[in-house]
Amino acid sequence: MPAANESAGETRFSVREIALFLHALRLSVKAQRVQRRSLEDVAGALVRTRPLPRGVGADAAARAAGRACSRVKRWAGGLDTCLTRSLVAGALLADRPGVVLHVGFRGQATGPLHEGHAWVTLDGRNVTDARDGEHAGPFTEALRVPLRRGGESRP
């Protein structure tokens, strides 16, 4: 997928990127249900969403998820968290096998006792944290939810 062209402060997106963003936006609105329903139920609903594109690149999916979740937060006061971004990115990638949503925890030296994090792997590679090193440290996995269109999402 072509990257966004940036010149003189202007960002332009390809038609394909815009279409992907719109899919991600729809998914990120649905992902807000994670505040009221179980992760398993929400993940299942997201992968059953129709229509969704096929063959989306992992980086493009993560970028689109980030953009969509930030817009939902800005426009509607929704959640923009690692969990909502991971749900959206995972659903965009779930036309192929090997997509897993992870939830993990680690101790913290200051503040709350533990920090939680959610991320998505594709064939074992972390695709949602690939672009920033913020969460590079180890999290102990507490839950994994395989995401697959046409299948069920169960921990």
Q: Tabulate helix, strand, coil % of the chain (nearest 5).
A: 40, 20, 40
| Closest approach of other proteins to the CB of residue 46, in Å | 16
CB 55 within 8 A of CB 97: no
Binding site for other proteins (CB under 8 A): 34-40, 103-107, 112-114, 116, 140-143, 155
Helix residue ranges, H only, 2-51? 15-31, 39-47
Comparing CB distances to other proteins, the nearer of 141 and 152 is 141
| Closest approach of other proteins to the CB of residue 84, in Å | 14
CB 43 within 8 A of CB 103: no
Comparing CB distances to other proteins, the nearer of 21 and 139 is 139
| Closest approach of other proteins to the CB of residue 79, in Å | 12
